[in-house]
Amino acid sequence: MVMATHFSFPFSYVVSEGSRGRGRIVPKLVRAVASGDSMAPAKSEESKVKLGGSDLKVTKLGIGVWSWGDNSYWNDFQWDDRKLKAAKGAFDTSLDNGIDFFDTAEVYGSKFSLGAISSETLLGRFIKERKERYPGAEVSVATKYAALPWRLGRESVITALKDSLGRLGLSSVDLYQLHWPGLWGNEGYLDGLGDAVEQGLVKAVGVSNYSEKRLRDAYERLKKRGIPLASNQVNYSLIYRAPEQTGVKAACDELGVTLIAYSPIAQGALTGKYTPENPPSGPRGRIYTREFLTKLQPLLNRIKQIGENYSKTPTQVALNWLVAQGNVIPIPGAKNAEQAKEFAGAIGWTLTDSEVTELRSLASEINPVVGFPVEYL
């Protein structure tokens, strides 16, 4: 198994190695007038779900913005005005299509990770511009704390959060997460999350890349303060089901913690865009090799066939498969408007039980290749 990091750092970890109908109902998008003569989409409560045991409600699918401002893993090692404009298009199109939940992190695009511009800064800029056009626009923001070895104590969490708020241009965020477990000091980090809630800086708190044991420990520590652990963000897709195998998914379901799935289309491998003759560029090409893509073709062919029955793309089928697992919110990364619109079409319909089972069976014949090392700590 080959593993690679989820966050952009100047290096990569590499380790060898109920009944569902077949309905195709898509909810009609209701549009409400914002100030001025423009139209902005209004989202019904049915299009949102509660995040864990918190009071926060978010859309059933979110958008990951790791690639925004990054030039160390994504974007072929370069960031320019064209890509900036494309990212802005992804943001606006997501909102236009009823998706208003965006996930970022302090390390995305940061100088620390050799990025061009902070993803938080870009997201904050886009939000400001959107609200200038639509004063009533709603945007739910999730960001993450980097558990770096030199950061100690609960105070470091609050300090980092306030720095993130400054970059975002916000007074609070909807969800604040610990990006990965620290080498030490994790109890202090969790206490910092609790402090953030009590200080009104966040609506809900979560963790990311937490194993079953770490998840349970975090849940219990926050519970003592009457604060629910809302989410655990982990790598989860049709071809990477480690959360099921390690007990993380079952623990999330048991505790009422929402599983937020990053890399839900396996960094593009499940879209059908890449083939043995056309592998992805950059670092992903070393993960999704020609050999792996050859083994993936039978599954991709079946995904495409199923999608044709619903007038859906392979990407939309792969994302819908995750939603069908229950208690899962996928957050695919959108780099442009076209991708954002496609992602929005992944919800509002449901695969049948037999299709979900068949895809799982086909995927089980493929050895997974992408993970995150701390999942196994």
- Alpha-carbon distance 267 to 249, whole Å? 20
Comparing C-alpha atoms, which of 374, 377, 376 is closest to residue 179?
374
Instruction: Provide CB contacts within 8 A for 322, sequence distance 6+.
Output: 236, 237, 238, 261, 264, 328, 330
Alpha helices in the chain (DSSP H): 81-96, 119-133, 153-168, 186-198, 212-223, 242-245, 248-255, 284-287, 290-310, 314-323, 337-344, 353-363
**8 A C-beta contact, residue 127 and residue 136:** no
In angstroms, the first-to-last Cα distance of the chain is 16
- CB-facing half-sphere around the CA of 248: CA atoms within 13 A: 29
- Alpha-carbon distance 344 to 336, whole Å? 13
Beta-strand pair 57-59/48-50: antiparallel
- CB-facing half-sphere around the CA of 203: CA atoms within 13 A: 18
- Alpha-carbon distance 165 to 162, whole Å? 5
Q: Which residues pair with 190 in a beta bridge?
A: none
240 is catalytic: no
- The residue from 108, 134, 240, 262 that is catalytic is 108
Comparing C-alpha atoms, which of 205, 140, 347, 374 is closest to residue 264?
347
Question: Active-site residue numbers?
Answer: 108
